[in-house]
Amino acid sequence: MERAFPNRAEAGRLLAEKLENYAGRSDVVVLGLPRGGVPVAYEVAQRLGAPLDVFVVRKLGVPGFEELAAGAIASGGVRVLNEDVVRALPNADQLIESVTEKETVELERREQTYRDGRPAPELRDRVVILVDDGLATGATMRAAVAALRQRGVAKIVVAAPVGAPDTCRELEQEADETICAITPEFFQAVGQYYEDFSQTSDEEVRELLSRAAQRTA
C-alpha cells in the first residue's frame, strides 16, 4: 500500500495547504494534541503564521477497565463526562473523583513539562485549530472539542492529515469545521498511512513548542 505521508512534519505541511484561508490572521491559534499531534501542528502553525500551543487531554478510564472512558479532562480544568458509562458505575461519584485526581496530576505534569513555565494562551474569542496526527475513534478529539466549548472560543476547527471516514463525519457535527486531508475507505489505524510513525517524545514536544514560542515572540 502507498503510504500517504513520509512523517508527521510532511503530513503537517500538506494539512496546512487545506487551512490556507486561516493564514496571517491575528485571531487564530493552533493547538496540537500531544504527543503525536504536536509535530503536525508545528508545521501548520508555521505555515499559517499563528502561535502554537498544546491542548492536553487525559482520558478518565474506569479502574480495571481502563479502555472504557468514563470521560476526559483537558487543559484549563475542564471535565467532560460520558453519562452512559457513569450511570452504569457503582459508586460513580467516588470513582470519578479518584480517577480525576490521578489524571489531573499527570495532566499538570505534562503541561509544566511541555510549556517550560510559559503561560497557557488566552483562548476566549479566538479561532482554535485543533490538530492531531490522525483520527481513528476520535474520542480524544471529541473530548478536546467539548472542553474548548467551555472556554468561550469563537470557532473550533478540527484538522488531521488522515481520519476514518465515519469519525470525520461525526466530528463535523461537533466542531465548527472539520478538515481530514484524506479519509481512506478501508481505514484501520493511523500509523498505516505514515512511513515513519515512531512515537513522539516529551522532549520533542518541548523542543517544538519552545521553537514556536521564540518565533512568535
Per-residue model confidence as pLDDT tens digits over 120-136: 889 999 999 999 999 99
Res. 175 pLDDT band, cuts 50 70 90 = very high
Say if residue 33 is in the same domain as residue 62. Answer: no
Residue 85 pLDDT > 60: yes
pTM above 0.85, yes or no: yes
Mean pLDDT of the chain: 92
Chain centroid to Cα 159, Å, comes to 9
SS (H, E, C) the chain: CCCCECCHHHHHHHHHHCCHHHCCCCCEEEEECCCCHHHHHHHHHHHHCCCEEECCEEEEEECCEEEEEEEEEECCCEEEECHHHHHCCCCHHHHHHHHHHHHHHHHHHHHHHHHCCCCCCCCCCCEEEEECCCECCCHHHHHHHHHHHCCCCCEEEEEEEEECHHHHHHHHHHCCEEEEEECCCCCCCHHHHECCCCCCCHHHHHHHHHHHHHHHC
Say if residue 102 is in the same domain as residue 206. Answer: no
Contact 152, 124 (CB under 8 A): yes
Whether 27 maps to a domain, the answer reads yes
Q: Determine the pLDDT at residue 34.
A: 92
Number of domains in the chain: 2
Say if residue 102 is in the same domain as residue 146. Answer: no
Whether 191 maps to a domain, the answer reads yes
Whether 175 maps to a domain, the answer reads yes
Q: Is 172 exposed, middle or buried (0-12, 13-18, 19+ CB in 10 A)?
A: middle
In terms of residue numbers, what domain contains 73? 58-115
Q: What is the CATH number of the domain that holds 37?
A: 3.40.50.2020
CA dihedral 101, 104, 109, 111 (to 10 degrees): -170
Contact 182, 17 (CB under 8 A): no
Whether 44 maps to a domain, the answer reads yes
Say if residue 159 is in the same domain as residue 211. Answer: yes
Say if residue 194 is in the same domain as residue 124. Answer: yes
State what percent of residues in the chain have pLDDT above 70: 99
Say if residue 107 is in the same domain as residue 212. Answer: no
Q: What is the CATH number of the domain that holds 90?
A: 3.30.1310
Residue 9 pLDDT > 80: yes
Mean pLDDT of all residues in 64-82 = 83
Say if residue 127 is in the same domain as residue 40. Answer: yes
Mean pLDDT of all residues in 115-119 = 88
What's the pLDDT tens digit per position in 23-56?
Answer: 999 999 999 999 999 999 999 999 999 999 999 9
Say if residue 105 is in the same domain as residue 170. Answer: no
Say if residue 161 is in the same domain as residue 206. Answer: yes
Say if residue 90 is in the same domain as residue 71. Answer: yes
Q: Determine the pLDDT at residue 72.
A: 87
The single-letter code of the amino acid at 117 is G
Say if residue 108 is in the same domain as residue 165. Answer: no
Say if residue 46 is in the same domain as residue 135. Answer: yes
